Structure 1
Amino acid sequence: MSVARSVRRGVARLSWVQRALLAGAVLTVVWMSWDVGGLNERLVRDTLVYILAPLALAVRHGRHLGYRVDRTVVRNTVLLSLFVLPFYVVGSSLPTIRAYYPMWETSPALAQFLPHAVMQFVVALAAETYYRGLLCVGVREIGFKSVFISPVVYAFHHLYKPPIELALSGPTDVLFGAVDYKSNSILPSVVAHGVGLGLLDWLVLHPPLLAPERVVRWFQWLPIPL
C-alpha cells in the first residue's frame, strides 16, 4: 500500500472537526512559509491561504464558516465594534503603536489611503475566516470550547507586533471568538478588526487625539514597553 493511499484512508476516517483542525495546522505552516514583501503580496497570500482554502474545505464537506447575516449578527457587530473602538483610539496615541503603524506605506491623502484601507479590510477578512471561521464557528459543534482553539496561534502570529498588542492578542482572540460563536457568524469580528485597522492607520497618520505622555502614564504600571 502506498504512503499516499494510507494518508488518504487516514484522512477519510477523520471527523469534520479533526479535518478542520488538521487543515488549520497545515494552512498556518503554509502561511508562515510564504514570505511577502508588501501589502499587495500579503493580500494574495492571505486570500489564497486564509479565505479560499478554508472555504473550499467547508464547501466540500457541506459546512459553513460563518458567512451569514441576520439581525442578531448585525446587533453583535455594532456592539463589538463600539466596544473595541476606545482601544484603537487610545492605542493610536501610544509611542510603540505609532512607531509600528501603518504596517504598509500609505498617506492621509484619500486617493492613496482608501485603497490601502480596503486591502487591509480584505486582510482582516482573511484572518477572521481562518481564526474565527475555520477554527471557531466552523467547529462550533464541539461547544463553547471552540472559542479557545485559536488564541495561541493568534498570539504566536503577533510576536513581531508591539508588546502591548501582543499582550492583548490572546484576550482579543477569545473575545472575538466568543461573539462570533454566539452569533454563528464571523461578521462581528470581520468588521471590528477590518474597520479597526483602517481607523488605527488613519489616526496614526494624524496628530494623536490624546497626548502620548498622558496615555503612557495611564498604563505605566504594565511591565512592557508602551
Structure 2
Amino acid sequence: GIDLSNLIGMLITAFIVVIGIVVALHYLRIGGEAGMLVAQVAEYLPRLIGGIILLTAGLILVALLTDYIGKLLTGLFPKQFVEIGEMLRNLLLIGLIALVVSIALDLMLFTGPLVYPLILGTVIIGAGIFIGHTIVRNIVEDHPEFAAAAPYAKFLLYLVFLMVGLGAIFANFPNTAHVVQNVAWGVAIAVGILLAPVVYTLAKRMAKEVKE
C-alpha cells in the first residue's frame, strides 16, 4: 500500500522547494521570452503542487468522514435497511470526491468545457451503479422469485445511468450527445426484446403459484 504520511511529507517538501525556486527565479530576473516562460512556469508550479496536496489530503479526509458517517447511518437504520445506509454512504463518498477533485482542478487551472461535465457524468455513473446494485439486491432478497431476472434488471439500470452519464459528459458536444442518445434508444429496445421472454416466464410462474 501507499505510505500516506511519507507521501504527504514528500508533497509538502516539494511545495517548499517549489516556493524556493520561485523566489530564486524572481531575484534572477531573466529577461526576454525565456524569462517570461520561466516566470509563467514558476508561477504555475505552486498551483500544481498545491492542487496535488489538496487532492491527496482531501481524499483522505473524505474517506475518513464517509466511513464515520456510514457507521452512524448503519446504526440508525434497522437491520433490514442496512443496505440503504451503505448506499447513502457510497453516494456521499462519490459526491465528496467529485467536490474535492473539482476544487483541486480549479486550483491547478485545469478548467474547460469538458472538465465539469466529465465530473458530473462520472458522479452519475458511479451513483447509478451503487443505486442499481442496492435496488436489485433488496428486491431479490424480498422476492426470491425475481432472482432469475436480477442480472438483466441490474444490467438495464447500469445501462440507463451509463447513458445518462455519457449524455452529461458530452453535453457541450451536441453531435456526440445525439449519437449517444441514438445508441441508448437502440440498446434500450434490444434489452426490452431480450427481457420479454424473462418477464413472460416470471409472470407465468407467479400465476401458477397464485393458482396453487
Fold shared per TM-score above 0.5: no
More helix by share: 2
Q: Find the structure with the greater CA-based Rg.
A: 2
TM norm structure 2: 0.31
Higher RCO structure, 1 or 2 (CA under 8 Å, sep 6+): 1
